[in-house]
C-alpha cells in the first residue's frame, strides 16, 4: 500500500488534532468555530461561515428546520491547517435531544472544547451532553465565553464545573477586568499579562500586547489587584494546568475570552494544538492494539443521506484509526465482508465538498454512496480488524408513526429504513406482524420532529407521529417473551439490529417484575454511565 516517498504515517498522525466543540445552544459554538477558522487563516474575515450557512439553509428543507429552531442538527467536519498542524473539527448538535448523535461524534475525536456562556454557566438541559463527554473520559478544554458582557464571577463558574460535571478546573488564563470589562488575561503558565484590543465585531484578529506586570499594575488599577488576589487563591489550592490529569479526563484547563471580540481565541486554539493529544493507536474489540502505521482502518461514526439536495446521496463518515487512506483504494467492511471502492471520498466543509486524495489517522473521510455501511462499522485494508461497537443510548421517548397518505406507503417505508439506519430514531417493529405500524424510539422528542420533517421533505411521505405512553424499554430474549406477553401493559418489539425489546407502559411494573422474577431477561439497553434509564 505504501508508495515510495509517501509521507510517514507516524509523522502525519503526530501533526493531527481531532476535536469537537460542545456547548449549550447559543453559548457561542458557531462563533468560536468561525473564529478558529479566522485565526488559522482559513477565512480572511469573520462572517464567512455564517454566509455559507445562510446559503445552505436557503437550499435545504431540513436545514431550514435547523434554522427555525436555532439548533444544529447536521454534523460536519472542518479541516484546516494551523501552525504546523492539521486540525479536524467535528461539529456536534447542541441540544440534549441529540446527545446520542453527540456521543457518536465523540467516538471520533481525541479531545473536546467545552464552551460555556459566562453569564449562564452550565445549563441544566446541557448537563447531559457534558456528562456524555465526561463518560468517555476525553480530555476537555474549557472556554468561558462572552466575557465581553456582564456575567458571573469566574471563581463561581469553576465551582460549578467541578460540582456538576466532576471535572477539576485548572485555569490556564485568568481575566483582568470583570465580565463586561475584559482588558486582557494573565497566562498563569508563564505569568505574562496579555492585553487585548477590540476590533469591530471581531471581524479581524484582536491585537494582543504583552504588558509588563509593573506597567499593568499602574494601568489596570483595581482590576489588576483583583486578578492577582484571585490567582493567589488558585495557586493556594494548586489549580494549575496538569497535563496527565487533563489527558486522563480528570481536570480541564480553563481559558477566558470572547469569541465575538476574538479575545482569548488564539490561546484556546493554541491549547488544542499544544495540550490536546494527537491521535493514538486504538484498541480493537479483542483488546489488541491496531498500530497507527499498520494497514488502513477506520470506523463509521455517522451516516447521513440527503445532506444537501444538490447531492442526493448518502455519506458515511469514517474516522481513520490506522494507516494511510488513498482515494480509490479498496477497503473491506468488516461486518459484511464486502469490499467497497473509495473512488468518491470527500472531506466536508460546511455543505461544500472537496475530494480528498489522502488522509491519515485522526482525519475523517466521507464515503459517498457507500451503501451497506452502518454506524459502528469498521472498514479496513490488509489485516482485518474490528473496533468496538458504538453503544446506542437507551430511548426515553416513544411514538407511533403512520403515513398520512396511504398511497405513499412505499416511500414511507423507505424513509423509515433510511432514517433508522442513520440513527435519527430507532424503529421498532412487531416481530410477528412486521406490517403493523412501527414504534419509534428516541432519546429526545426533537428527534421525532427531525424524523417527521425529513420523511416529508426528502421522501415526500408526510406522517402522523403521535407520542406513545411507554415509560421504559428493556432488552429481552425469546425465552422470556411468552411470560412477558402474559402480563398486561408490555409490548414486545424487534429493533433494526434484530434485538428483542420489551416496552413498558408503567415503570413501576417493570421494577416489580425485575424484583419478583429475576429469571426474566430484562437488561437496560446501555448499561451503566449516565444513560441507563
Residue choice 145, 297, 322, 347 for contact with ligand G4P (CB under 6 A): 145
Residue 210 C-beta: closest distance to ligand G4P, Å: 22
Question: What is the contact mask toward ligand G4P in residues 30 to 49, using x (rule: CB under 6 A)?
Answer: xx------------------
CA distance 120 to 25: 12
Residue 256 C-beta: closest distance to ligand G4P, Å: 11
3 state DSSP class of 242: coil
Q: Are 97 and 126 in contact (CB under 8 A)?
A: no
Applying CB under 6 A, does 425 fall inside the site for ligand G4P?
no
Closest CA to 17 of 259, 390, 248, 280: 280
Q: Are 431 and 492 in contact (CB under 8 A)?
A: yes
Query: By CB under 6 A, what part of segment 242-261 binds ligand G4P?
Result: 258-260
Please identify, using beta-carbon distances, which residue of 27 and 185 lies nearer to ligand G4P. Answer: 27
Query: By CB under 6 A, what part of segment 193-252 binds ligand G4P?
Result: none
Other CB atoms within a 10 A radius of the CB of residue 501 amount to: 22
Question: What is the contact mask toward ligand G4P in residues 305 to 324, using x (rule: CB under 6 A)?
Answer: --------------------
Residue 110 C-beta: closest distance to ligand G4P, Å: 22
Place of cell 442526493: 312
Cell numbers of 4, please? 515510495
Could you tell me the sign of the dihedral formed by the alpha carbons of 297, 303, 304, 305, in that order?
positive
Q: Are 253 and 170 in contact (CB under 8 A)?
A: yes
| Stretch of residues binding ligand G4P (CB under 6 A), selected from 11-19, 21-29, 127-135, 463-471 | 21-29
Please identify, using beta-carbon distances, which residue of 30 and 79 lies nearer to ligand G4P. Answer: 30
The partner residues of 401 in beta bridges, in order of sequence, read 465
Task: Give Cβ neighbours of residue 200 (< 8 Å, ≥ 6 apart).
Answer: none
Residue 49 C-beta: closest distance to ligand G4P, Å: 9
The partner residues of 186 in beta bridges, in order of sequence, read 174, 193
**Cα–Cα distance list, 291 to 10, 364, 470 (Å):** 10, 18, 45
CA distance 19 to 90: 6
Residue choice 9, 22, 27, 397 for contact with ligand G4P (CB under 6 A): 27
Please identify, using beta-carbon distances, which residue of 27 and 239 lies nearer to ligand G4P. Answer: 27
CA distance 146 to 182: 10
Applying CB under 6 A, does 173 fall inside the site for ligand G4P?
no
Residue choice 14, 26, 332, 358 for contact with ligand G4P (CB under 6 A): 26
Applying CB under 6 A, does 149 fall inside the site for ligand G4P?
yes
Residue 10 C-beta: closest distance to ligand G4P, Å: 35
Residue 71 C-beta: closest distance to ligand G4P, Å: 7
Q: Are 407 and 351 in contact (CB under 8 A)?
A: no
Q: Where are the beta strands (DSSP E) in 357-444?
A: 358-359, 364-368, 378-380, 397-403, 426-428, 439-442
Question: What is the contact mask toward ligand G4P in residues 259 to 278, using x (rule: CB under 6 A)?
Answer: xx------------------
The β-bridge relationship of strands 330-333 and 325-326 is unpaired
Residue choice 16, 17, 29, 319 for contact with ligand G4P (CB under 6 A): 29
Residue 403 C-beta: closest distance to ligand G4P, Å: 34
Residue choice 94, 169, 376, 444 for contact with ligand G4P (CB under 6 A): 94
| Stretch of residues binding ligand G4P (CB under 6 A), selected from 22-30, 241-249, 356-364, 484-492 | 22-30
DSSP 26-52: TSSHHHHHHHHHHHTTSSSSTTHHHHH
Residue 475 C-beta: closest distance to ligand G4P, Å: 35
Other CB atoms within a 10 A radius of the CB of residue 135 amount to: 15
Please identify, using beta-carbon distances, which residue of 92 and 418 lies nearer to ligand G4P. Answer: 92
Number of residues that bind ligand G4P (CB under 6 A): 16
Query: By CB under 6 A, what part of segment 429-488 binds ligand G4P?
Result: none
CA distance 179 to 87: 30
| Stretch of residues binding ligand G4P (CB under 6 A), selected from 59-67, 145-153, 165-173, 393-401 | 145-153
Name the residues that contact ligand G4P, by CB under 6 A: 23, 25-31, 94, 145-146, 148-149, 258-260
Amino acid at each position: 500500500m505504501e508508495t515510495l516517498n509517501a509521507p510517514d504515517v507516524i509523522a502525519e498522525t503526530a501533526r493531527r488534532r481531532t476535536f469537537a466543540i460542545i456547548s449549550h445552544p447559543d453559548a457561542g459554538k458557531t462563533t468560536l468555530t468561525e473564529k478558529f477558522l479566522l485565526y488559522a487563516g482559513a477565512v480572511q474575515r469573520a462572517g464567512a461561515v455564517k454566509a455559507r450557512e445562510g446559503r445552505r439553509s436557503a437550499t435545504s428543507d431540513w436545514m431550514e428546520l435547523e434554522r427555525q429552531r436555532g439548533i444544529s442538527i447536521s454534523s460536519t467536519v472542518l479541516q484546516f491547517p494551523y501552525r504546523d498542524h492539521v486540525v479536524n473539527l467535528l461539529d456536534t448538535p447542541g441540544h440534549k435531544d441529540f446527545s446520542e448523535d453527540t456521543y457518536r461524534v465523540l467516538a471520533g475525536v481525541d479531545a473536546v472544547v467545552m464552551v460555556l456562556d459566562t453569564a449562564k454557566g452550565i445549563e441544566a438541559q446541557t448537563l447531559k451532553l457534558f456528562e456524555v463527554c465526561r463518560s468517555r473520559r476525553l480530555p476537555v478544554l474549557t472556554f468561558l465565553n462572552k466575557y465581553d458582557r456582564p456575567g458571573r464571577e469566574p471563581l463561581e463558574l469553576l465551582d460549578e464545573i467541578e460540582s456538576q460535571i466532576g471535572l477539576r478546573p485548572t485555569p490556564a488564563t485568568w481575566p483582568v477586568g470583570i465580565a463586561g470589562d475584559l482588558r486582557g488575561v494573565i497566562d498563569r503558565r508563564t505569568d505574562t499579562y496579555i492585553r487585548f484590543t477590540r476590533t469591530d465585531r471581531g471581524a479581524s484578529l484582536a491585537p494582543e500586547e504583552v504588558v509588563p506586570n509593573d506597567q499593568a499594575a499602574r494601568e489596570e488599577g483595581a482590576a489588576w489587584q483583583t486578578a492577582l488576589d484571585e490567582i493567589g487563591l488558585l495557586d493556594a489550592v494548586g489549580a494549575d494546568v496538569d497535563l496527565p490529569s487533563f489527558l486522563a479526563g480528570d481536570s480541564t484547563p480553563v481559558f477566558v475570552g470572547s469569541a465575538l471580540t476574538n479575545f482569548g481565541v488564539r490561546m484556546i486554539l493554541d491549547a488544542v494544538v499544544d495540550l490536546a493529544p494527537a491521535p493514538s493507536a486504538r484498541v480493537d474489540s479483542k483488546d489488541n492494539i491496531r498500530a497507527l502505521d499498520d494497514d488502513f482502518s477506520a470506523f463509521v461514526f455517522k451516516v447521513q443521506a440527503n445532506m444537501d439536495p444538490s447531492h442526493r446521496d448518502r455519506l458515511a463518515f469514517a474516522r481513520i484509526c490506522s494507516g494511510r487512506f488513498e482515494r480509490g483504494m479498496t477497503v473491506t467492511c468488516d461486518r459484511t465482508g464486502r469490499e467497497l471502492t473509495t473512488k468518491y471520498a470527500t472531506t466536508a466543509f460546511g455543505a461544500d465538498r472537496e475530494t480528498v486524495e489522502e488522509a491519515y489517522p485522526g482525519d475523517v473521510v466521507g464515503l459517498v454512496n457507500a451503501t451497506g455501511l452502518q454506524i459502528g462499522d469498521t472498514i479496513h485494508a490488509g489485516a482485518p480488524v474490528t473496533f468496538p461497537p458504538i453503544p446506542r443510548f437507551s430511548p426515553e421517548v416513544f411514538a407511533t408513526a403512520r403515513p398520512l397518505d396511504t398511497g405513499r406507503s412505499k416511500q414511507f417505508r423507505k424513509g423509515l429504513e433510511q432514517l433508522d439506519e442513520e440513527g435519527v430514531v430507532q424503529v421498532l417493529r412487531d416481530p410477528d406482524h412486521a406490517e403493523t405500524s412501527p414504534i419509534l424510539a428516541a432519546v429526545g422528542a426533537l428527534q421525532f420532529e427531525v424524523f417527521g420533517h425529513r420523511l416529508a421533505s426528502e421522501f415526500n411521505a408526510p406522517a402522523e407521529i403521535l407520542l406513545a405512553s411507554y415509560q421504559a424499554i428493556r432488552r429481552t430474549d425469546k425465552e422470556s417473551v411468552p411470560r412477558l406477553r402474559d402480563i398486561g401493559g408490555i409490548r414486545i418489539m424487534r429493533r433494526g439490529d434484530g434485538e428483542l425489546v420489551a416496552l413498558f407502559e408503567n415503570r413501576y411494573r417493570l421494577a416489580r417484575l425485575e424484583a419478583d422474577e429475576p429469571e426474566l431477561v430484562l437488561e437496560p439497553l446501555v448499561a451503566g454511565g449516565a444513560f441507563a434509564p
